[in-house]
Amino acid sequence: MTAPASIQYRDLRKWPYVVTADFNQQLPQDLIPFANIAEQYVSLSASGVLCLKRGYAWNGATCAIDTPAFMTPSGVHDALYQLMYQKHLALSSRVYVDRLLRDMCLDHGMSWFRAQYVYAAVRMAGGAFIRP
């Protein structure tokens, strides 16, 4: 089995992490938009490729400890929440975004129990981060 791609990042203070090299992630069918979305540091193509551009900053885990198994999933999750907050993606996408976080955590080697804990936390509290 091939190891999943990982974001290259460096640690900051205000936003703890910043992408140091462009990162692409193919999203599942449920999250593919009808048209391309392009922001300064995040883009999502109509073919479902999410790109976190060099310079994209995110805060890592809000409800959990930042570990290598959580860095890439949390970056993708935060970018997708940002697109929902900016109304590029429907708020109804949230359930799929949260499932993607859980699945990516498992792919990156997180234990099943911890991935379920992370999923439960974002399902319970995540909605507060996408309402303008």
User: What pLDDT digit, counting tens, does each position of 61-79 carry?
Assistant: 776 778 899 999 999 999 9
- On whether residue 79 sits in a domain, the answer given is yes
Neighbouring C-alpha atoms within 13 Å toward the C-beta of 111 = 3
Q: Which of 6-20, 67-81, 95-109 has the lowest mean pLDDT?
A: 6-20
Residue 104 within a domain:
yes
Q: Confirm whether 88 is domain-assigned.
A: yes
Question: What domain count does the chain have?
Answer: 1
Give me the domain span that covers residue 56. 9-129
Residue 19 lies in a domain: yes
| Domain presence at residue 60 | yes
State the pTM of this model.
Answer: 0.86
Residue 4 maps to a domain: no
Determine, yes or no, domain membership for 76. Answer: yes
112 inside domain? yes
